[in-house]
């Protein structure tokens, strides 16, 4: 049954499914605002014993169960009308504005194909409905701000432009369902804006979503470490929450690739988790980033947060600003070629 939209996401098939997902979203709010806060408070007063504290087990178990409930609820509700949703993807491919390129014979790298990211069954690329699923799932994850693109739009409106003001081409790396891609086009309507992602279901859904919104952007299934664009092609390359989802060795290749395809004076803008001191993580950092790595489908998270990422950027880029927005929920690194 078509129940319209929740923001730009396709609404759950039945009212009862929507109510269930609202409940799951509320559980997440409760866990993050109450249980996690209580855990951090206990950790500050009993730093040595954090692993032994029952509240850590409660926080982690609740976090994982809530994620599992979220994916189950989202998948079940869309599965009820799978054929219709797949027909929508096919139909959008024949429509504009914009276009989508993807390859049924695309070979996914092992480091990617083996991961059920944030416990999403089959990861980003296995389920043909993965884009729909990710969209509604992240509505729950971002507690309501992701079905309306608020998270992406706020960051992009804070981002700087190159010093000379020239913005002819923008690349959104690992664009998933294209929410940042369309937000860049809204900010720079005269620029040619590309979104690339490894996953075919993601770029297909991203295109459908952009067509529905009437926004003219190009989506393509490509790897961030091997984009196939010419040297000096883009004025801005943007990566929102990509780096913690790839091994460090691949991350190094992505930094070098971004440098290659940016023109001199162009900006590489990266929004991702803050780095921690690998020699002295705080107890809360240990619990949160450790749990993400071992139990929440983020196997490269610890590798990323303990990497001197800014130091690596500085090897290639002329200047690197560590936390451009100072104070947004994740830091924005800005590197100038
Ligand atoms: C958390 S999502 C990114 C969110 C997105 N940037 C946004 O603005 O909403 C991570 C995305 O990275 C993609 N991805 C992971 N590794 C990749 C790679 N090596 N190349 C391209 N995309 C990749 C995944 O398919 C997934 O869609």
Taking CA atoms only, the protein residue closest to ligand 1 atom 13 is: 174
pLDDT for the residue 325: 83
pLDDT for the residue 129: 97
How far, in Å, CA of 35 to CA of 30, rounded? 7
Name all residues whose Cβ lies below 6 A of ligand 1.
Answer: 112, 124, 152, 174-176, 179-180, 197-199, 202, 223-225, 240-242, 245-246
Q: Domain 5-336 is of which CATH architecture?
A: 3-Layer(aba) Sandwich (3.40)
pLDDT for the residue 327: 67
CB-based contacts of 110, cutoff 8 Å, min separation 6: none
The pTM score is 0.96
pLDDT for the residue 329: 77
CB-based contacts of 276, cutoff 8 Å, min separation 6: 282, 285, 289, 305, 306
214 C-beta neighbours (distance < 10 Å), count: 10
Q: Tokens 């900010």 sit at which residue?
A: 187
Q: Write the CA distances from 76 to 30, 136, 318, integer angstroms.
A: 24, 12, 49
pLDDT for the residue 144: 80
Return the SS3 of 320.
strand
For the chain of 337 residues, list the mean pLDDT of each consecutive stretch of 10: 87 96 96 90 76 87 96 97 97 97 97 94 95 95 86 93 98 98 98 98 98 97 98 98 98 98 98 93 88 95 97 97 82 97
Taking CA atoms only, the protein residue closest to ligand 1 atom 10 is: 242
pLDDT for the residue 323: 85
CB-based contacts of 56, cutoff 8 Å, min separation 6: 39, 50, 287
pLDDT for the residue 113: 96
Asked if residue 108 lies in contact with residue 130, where contact means CB atoms within 8 angstroms, the answer is no
User: Per the structure block, which two tokens stand in for 201?
Assistant: 């279901």
pLDDT for the residue 42: 84
Domain ranges of the chain: 5-336
């Amino acid at each position: 049954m078509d129940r319209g939209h929740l923001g730009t996401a396709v609404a759950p098939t039945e009212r009862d499914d929507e109510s269930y997902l609202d409940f799951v979203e509320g559980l997440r709010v409760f866990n993050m605002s109450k249980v996690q806060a209580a855990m951090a408070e206990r950790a500050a007063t009993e730093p040595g014993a954090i692993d032994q504290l029952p509240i850590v087990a409660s926080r982690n178990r609740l976090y994982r169960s809530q994620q599992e409930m979220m994916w189950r609820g989202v998948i079940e509700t869309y599965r009820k009308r799978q054929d219709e949703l797949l027909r929508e993807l096919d139909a959008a491919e024949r429509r504009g504005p914009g276009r989508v390129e993807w390859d049924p014979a695309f070979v996914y790298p092992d480091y990617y194909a083996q991961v059920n990211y944030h416990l999403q069954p089959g990861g980003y690329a296995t389920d043909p409905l993965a884009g729909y699923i990710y969209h509604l799932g992240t509505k729950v994850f971002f507690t309501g701000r992701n079905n309306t693109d608020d998270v992406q739009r706020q960051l992009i409106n804070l981002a700087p432009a190159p010093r000379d003001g020239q913005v002819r081409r923008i690349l959104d790396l690992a664009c998933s369902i294209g929410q940042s891609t369309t937000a860049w086009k809204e900010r720079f309507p005269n620029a040619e804006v590309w979104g690339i992602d490894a996953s075919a279901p993601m770029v297909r859904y991203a295109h459908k979503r952009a067509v529905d919104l009437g926004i003219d952007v190009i989506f393509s299934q490509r790897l961030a470490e091997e984009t196939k664009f010419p040297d000096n092609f883009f004025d801005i390359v943007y990566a929102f929450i990509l780096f913690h989802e790839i091994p460090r060795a691949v991350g190094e290749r992505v930094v070098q690739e971004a440098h290659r395809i940016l023109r001199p004076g162009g900006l590489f803008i990266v929004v991702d988790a803050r780095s921690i001191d690998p020699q002295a993580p705080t107890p809360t950092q240990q619990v949160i980033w450790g749990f993400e790595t071992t139990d929440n489908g983020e196997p490269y998270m610890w590798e990323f947060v303990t990497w001197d990422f800014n130091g690596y950027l500085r090897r290639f880029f002329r200047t690197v600003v560590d936390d451009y927005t100072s104070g947004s929920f994740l830091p924005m690194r800005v590197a100038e070629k």
